[in-house]
Amino acid sequence: MPIAPEFLTAASKRIRATLMELRPQLLQAHGAIEHELKDDASAVTEMDLLVEKRLHEALGELDPTIGLAGEETGADFDQETFWLVDPIDGTEPFIRGLPFSTNMIALIHHGEPIMSVIYNFFLDEYYHAVKGEGATMNGHPIHVSDRPMDRAYVVFGSKLKDPKLFGLTDRLRQRVLGLPQMAGAGYTYASIAAGQLDGLVAYNGRGKPWDHAPGTLLVREAGGRVENLFSPSYDYRNLELVAAAPSIFPELKQFFEDEISAVGK
């Protein structure tokens, strides 16, 4: 069954109210909180656990039949409809007091994101998108850039260790204006959707679906293009992807596919 627009509006209001209520605690803990390391060596704090718990409670009260999943509590990706939560995307920047952390939520329905929220609690910027309805920041429409490749800022996310591909970033740097590293997927996707950055490529990275699903919908609804590498389509569970403004998307995707193919995918 389709998801009613009224439900999506109510959900967005509930998510925003919950995150606004948590914002003072997030700001107080920003750069001043202890952490532990999980089995995968990623960091987790009390605030990660609290934000995910509070969002699950708020969304569960709205409709208990819709599944709840997240970075800290685990996810069943076979559910027909469920909320996917990344309570603090960029926990390392959060611990260090860097301004690149966000709260991210996506509603997954029949295997694709149909609504997303990215909240930059540091700047109080609430990014919101619904499939087919565009993207906004604090209620104002946003749109990706129209810069050419030689004026583009592109983020490359990877844990690349294959010596055959050493030098790839140097070759990409010759095509673009800059390769900034923002240390947070949510911050990066929001910046692309708002036209501040121009693209992102994820290849052989450390991310999980909750790192990308909210942001890819936001970018698409802001007029951007998102596809998996070596595919004309996008599956949010495939973590190798290109998300960029249409002005650079074809060249950027082709560059990476050629580079990867040259050494054997």
How many CB atoms are closer than 10 A to CB 30?
20
Query: What pLDDT is attached to residue 2?
Result: 80
Cα 57 off chain centre by: 22
The pLDDT value recorded for residue 1 is 66
The segment(s) of the chain belonging to CATH 3.30.540.10 are 5-141
Cα-trace Rg, the chain: 18
**Among the listed residues 84, 76, 80, 118, the one whose alpha carbon sits nearest the alpha carbon of residue 101:** 118
**pLDDT of amino acid 200:** 97
* Three-state DSSP string of 194-209: CCCCCEEEECCCCCCH
Which stretch of DSSP H or E encloses residue 221?
helix 209-221
**CA 44, 49, 53: angle at the middle one, nearest 5?**
160
Alpha carbon 193 to chain centroid, angstroms: 11
Q: Where in the chain is the domain with CATH 3.40.190.80?
A: 149-263
**pLDDT for the residue numbered 256:** 95
Residues 6 or more apart whose CB falls under 8 angstroms from that of 200 comprise 154, 155, 156, 157, 188, 189, 192, 242, 243, 244
- Give the pLDDT of residue 263: 82
- CATH architecture for segment(s) 5-141: 2-Layer Sandwich (3.30)
CA nearest neighbour of 247 among 216, 223, 227: 223
* 186 within 8 A of 89, measured Cβ to Cβ: yes
- Thinking of the domain 149-263, which architecture would CATH place it in? 3-Layer(aba) Sandwich (3.40)
DSSP 232: S
Backbone angles phi, psi at 187, to 5 degrees: -60, -40
Number of neighbouring beta carbons within 10 Å of residue 33: 17
Q: What is the pTM of this model?
A: 0.96
pLDDT, averaged per 10 consecutive residues of the chain (265 residues), comes to 91 98 97 90 91 96 94 90 96 95 98 98 97 98 98 89 79 96 92 98 90 98 98 97 98 96 80
132 backbone φψ class: left, alpha, beta (φ>0; ψ -120 to 50): left
Q: Please check whether residue 238 is in contact with residue 205, taking contact to mean a CB–CB distance below 8 angstroms.
A: no
Tokens of 78: 């076979």
For residue 32, give Cα distances in angstroms to 43, 93, 96, 168, 186. 14, 11, 8, 37, 21
